[in-house]
Structure 1
Amino acid sequence: METEMIYELSRPKNSIPGEKYPALFVMHGMGSNEQNMLTLVDGLKDSFFIFSIRGPLTQGPGFAYFTIEGYGRPHRESFDGAIQKLTSFIEEATMEYQIDPKQVYLLGFSQGAIASMTLALTLGNKIKGVVALSGYIPHFVKEEYVNNPGNRLSVFISHGEYDQVLPYAWGEANAEHFTKVEVPVTFKSYPEGHTVSRNNLQDFESWILEDLSR
Structure 2
Amino acid sequence: MIVIMSAPMIYELRRPKRIIPNKKYPALFLIHGKGSNEHNMFDLVSGLEKDFFIFSVRGHIPQPPGYSFFTFKVYGQPDRGGFDEGIKLISRFIDYALEEYPIDATSLYFLGFSQGAVISMTLALTLGHKLKGIAALSGYIPQFVLEEYDRKPVDGLSVFISHGEKDPVLPYQWGVAAQEYFNEMNASVSFYSYQEGHIISLKNQEDFTIWLHNDLKH
> Which of residues 7, 18, 22 in structure 2 aligns to 1:3?
7
- Pick from 34, 45, 57 the counterpart of residue 53 of structure 1: 57
* Structure 2 residue aligned with 1:102: 106
SS in 2 for 1:82: helix
Match of 1:208 in 2: 212
The answer to whether the Cα contact below 8 Å between 2:8 and 2:92 also exists between their aligned partners in 1 is no
Cα 1:150–1:168 shift into 2, 3 Å = closer
Structure 2: how far apart are the matches of 1:13 and 1:199? Answer: 28
CA distance in 1, matches of 2:153, 2:200: 26
Give yes or no for contact 1:28–1:37 (8 Å, CA) kept in 2.
yes
For 1:147, the equivalent position in structure 2 comes to 151
Q: Which residue of 2 aligns with 1:29?
A: 33
Show the counterpart of 1:125.
129
Partners of 1:185 and 1:82 in 2: how far apart?
25
CA contact (8 A) 1:13 1:47 kept: no
Q: Report the alpha carbon displacement of residue 161 of structure 1 after superposing the two structures with TM.
A: 0.7
Q: Could you tell me whether the CA contact under 8 Å between 2:24 and 2:102 is conserved in 1?
A: yes
Distance in 2 between residues matched to 1:12 and 1:118, nearest whole Å? 29
Q: Deviations over 1:100-135 (max 9, x none)?
A: 100000000001110011001111221001000001
1:78 aligns with 2:78: no
Corresponding residue SS for 1:123 = helix
Instruction: Report how far residue 12 of structure 1 moved.
Output: 2.0
Q: How many Å apart are 1:77 and its aligned residue?
A: 1.5
Q: Secondary structure at the match of 2:93?
A: helix
Query: What is the TM-score of this pair, normalised by structure 2?
Result: 0.95
Q: In percent, how many aligned pairs have the same letter?
A: 57
CA apart distance, 1:39: 0.3
**Residue 171, structure 1, aligned to residue 178, structure 2:** no
Contact 1:43 1:205 in 2 (8 A): no
Classify the secondary structure of the residue corresponding to 2:46.
Answer: helix
In structure 1, runs of 5+ residues without a counterpart are none
| Structure 2: unaligned runs, 5 residues or longer | none
AA at the equivalent of 1:133: L
Q: CA RMSD in A?
A: 1.1
Q: Secondary structure at the match of 1:135?
A: coil
- Tell me how far apart the structure 2 counterparts of residues 93 and 129 of structure 1 sit (CA, whole Å): 17
Mapped to 2, the partners of 1:211 and 1:149 lie a distance apart of: 19
Q: Counterpart amino acid of 2:91?
A: T
Confirm or deny: 8 A CA contact 1:65 1:79 kept in the other structure: yes
- The AA in structure 2 aligned to 1:58 is P
- Distance in 2, matches of 1:91 and 1:150, equals 20
Give the length in aligned residue pairs. 214
> Aligned partners of 1:156, 1:95: CA distance in 2, in Å?
27
- 1:111 equivalent in structure 2: 115
Deviant stretches of 4+, over 6 Å: none
Following superposition, the deviation at residue 150 of structure 1 comes to 4.2
Matched, 1:184 2:204: no
